[in-house]
Amino acid sequence: MTTTQPQDAPRPIIPAVAPLTRALAPYGYPLTRFAAGLFVVPHGAQKLFGWFGGDIDATAGFFSQIGLEPALPLAYLTGAVEFFGGLFLALGLLTRPAAAAIAVLMAVAAFKVHLANGFFWTDGGYEYPLLWGIIALACAFHGGGRLSLDRAIGREF
């Protein structure tokens, strides 16, 4: 059995791997969306539930120190976006609003919290939140995709 490719599709350098890459290609975006959402969830769990050594009051104190007010409500909002938004992004449920909320949160983290530390995350820089924010923004543009709860219920924001 042969599969045809569009006329303008590049030919594989190693033709023997083409069937594998074609078979795996549809899973690239869902894997990225799932991982991006799942990696944000523990940060929200720290804030909301005190898991992994987190503390909402310490988060609010930090927010107040850097001028993010009202600090305690913003700490809860941040935790909710990270935990529930990350969970929704991972599942592909209300994907666009969840991803957009995460992208905004990561922009604030990158440019309000980490910018002064330079680029590299190893020095507390903005590299990490900016990367996750761009990935979340791409998910907001794309939507849930075929392996998402949005698609399963047949509705998308």
pLDDT tens digits along 46-103: 999 999 999 999 999 999 999 999 999 999 999 999 999 999 999 999 999 999 999 9
Report yes or no on 5 lying in a domain: no
The encoded tokens of residue 57 equal: 């009051």
- Do 105 and 49 form a contact (C-beta atoms < 8 A)? no
What total of structural domains would you count in the chain?
Answer: 1
Report yes or no on 107 lying in a domain: yes
Give the closest residue to 144 by CA, choosing from 72, 93, 85, 86. 93
pTM > 0.85: yes
The residue range of the domain holding 61 is 28-153
**pLDDT tens per residue across span 102-123:** 999 999 999 999 999 999 999 9
Report yes or no on 17 lying in a domain: no
- Do 12 and 5 form a contact (C-beta atoms < 8 A)? no
